[in-house]
């Protein structure tokens, strides 16, 4: 439908992260949902998907919205507050580690994105999805590769999902103190793998992951 401006080897070229939204607003779409997920690569904890509908004046209110991976934790938390204060609607969905094991990560990912969009309090009339095309939505949709870097709505969803999941994993660290979840958030770091070898998997580990399965006793 539309290709946002990319740097294409020129690091000074600025990407207009509202290009997709501007074209859709100009075409008469009012409520454009961006959707993204966080935690696919983790071997513990839930997959978290979020959907966000931004208003047209977000161009002025959120000019610095960006892929959550490109932001510091402090800036993510700051932007999360601003996104929630100005968004038309926000929805967050958790897909448990058990569901991730049962479905497989691709289907878990698609399920989370679908549920996040359908859980919005305001029904979107268009959806922009990071990475994958999601079937079964009640509105037209477009998938965008690296959408969290190219679409403001998807970037906002990535921030909301990341802040939510990081906070959740820090809470789970209190329940499972042997694993250091507050530090690595369930991703397979050397520290996490050492804890798995020492203690075996917890009830929130994804047993279908090879590095976890190897530590089953």
- Run of H or E including 126: strand 126-130
pTM of this structure: 0.91
- Run of H or E including 182: helix 181-184
Nearest to 38 by CA among 50, 52, 21: 50
Domain ranges of the chain: 19-167
pLDDT value at residue 13: 59
List the chain residues with pLDDT less than 70: 1-13, 217
* Angle, vertex CA 112, rays to CA 26 and CA 148, nearest 5: 45
Give CA–CA dist 202/176, Å, rounded. 8
Q: Which CATH architecture has domain 19-167?
A: 2-Layer Sandwich (3.30)
pLDDT value at residue 151: 97
Give CA–CA dist 115/56, Å, rounded. 24
């Amino acid at each position: 439908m539309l290709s946002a401006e990319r740097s294409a080897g020129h690091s000074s070229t600025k990407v207009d992260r509202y290009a997709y939204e501007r074209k859709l607003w100009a075409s008469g779409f009012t409520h454009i949902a961006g959707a993204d997920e966080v935690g696919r690569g983790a071997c513990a904890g839930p997959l978290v998907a979020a959907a966000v509908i931004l208003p047209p004046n977000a161009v002025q209110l959120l000019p610095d919205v960006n892929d959550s991976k490109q932001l510091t934790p402090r800036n993510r938390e700051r932007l999360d507050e601003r996104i929630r204060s100005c968004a038309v609607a926000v929805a967050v969905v958790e897909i448990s580690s058990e569901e991730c094991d049962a479905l497989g990560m691709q289907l878990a990912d698609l399920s989370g994105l679908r549920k996040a969009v359908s859980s919005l309090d305001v029904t979107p009339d268009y959806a922009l999805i990071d990475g994958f095309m999601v079937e079964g939505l009640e509105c037209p949709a477009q998938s965008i590769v690296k959408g969290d870097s190219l679409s403001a709505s998807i970037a906002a969803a990535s921030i909301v999902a990341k802040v939510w999941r990081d906070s959740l994993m820090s809470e789970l660290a209190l329940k499972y103190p042997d694993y250091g979840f507050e530090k690595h958030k369930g991703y397979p770091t050397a520290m996490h793998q050492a804890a798995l070898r020492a203690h075996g998997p917890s009830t929130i580990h994804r047993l279908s992951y090879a590095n976890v399965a190897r530590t089953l006793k």
